[in-house]
Amino acid sequence: MDDAHYLITGGSSGIGLAIACLLHEKGAHVHISGRDNTRLAQAQTQIGSKCYTYQGDMAEASARHAIMQDLVSTSGGRLDGLILNAAKYGFCNLLEMETEEVNAYFQLNLMASHHLVRLAHPLLLKGVGKSILTISSTLGARPIAGTGAYSASKAALNMLTRSFALELAPDKIRVNSILPGVVDTPIHEPQRPADPERTQKMKDLAPMHPLGRVGCPEDIARSAWFLLSPEAAWVTGSLFFVDGGISLV
């Protein structure tokens, strides 16, 4: 994988960063996007020499265009894999949300993924492995109260993933999705005054998983590596649950 190039959106922390670290460990060049330059710099230091960073909000079409243009020059015009991890997450009852708020979830969690696949397609055609991986959620298969907008956008992402798998199969581009359960990442930092601290929240949610614990980013990264690797050469259109069994209960 010494010459492979992967783009990971939302790659400066949490699951995205863990995937970037593992791909780099395997010898790949990793390209990570994020909104915060400080986090990107910290991630680049943590990952190592073959890491390239791009600052921008993936909810904005102009940022997506700019990042892909910059990537062409740093990757030599090719891409071996695209990992769509950037997402908007939050709690709010649907009846309390304005249409614009709901649209914001779909803009980042769904439409940005569609746009990025379109932008990356010419580069993927020149790559080896040719794999796209979306990071969805078990909430896209089974929602809980207060996550309606997020859950609906992830359900739509699941169908987008499978549809792209069909349409891109003639190009030998594989498209799969990972559906994590609760994973201990910064996305679970308190968002509302009544929210528990992240450490307490993870303790409270651990028993909900049949395996008795929440996930760590590395749990998702190892599954991502499998789906991106030649070991999964006959896997496409898969919705891969990596969730400690929470989708079973």
Please say whether the beta carbons of 84 and 175 come within 8 A.
no
User: And the tokens for 131?
Assistant: 């794999």
Cα–Cα distance between 167 and 164 in angstroms, integer? 5
Known catalytic residue at 6: no
Catalytic residue among 6, 52, 54, 150: 150
Task: Give the residue numbers marked as catalytic.
Answer: 150
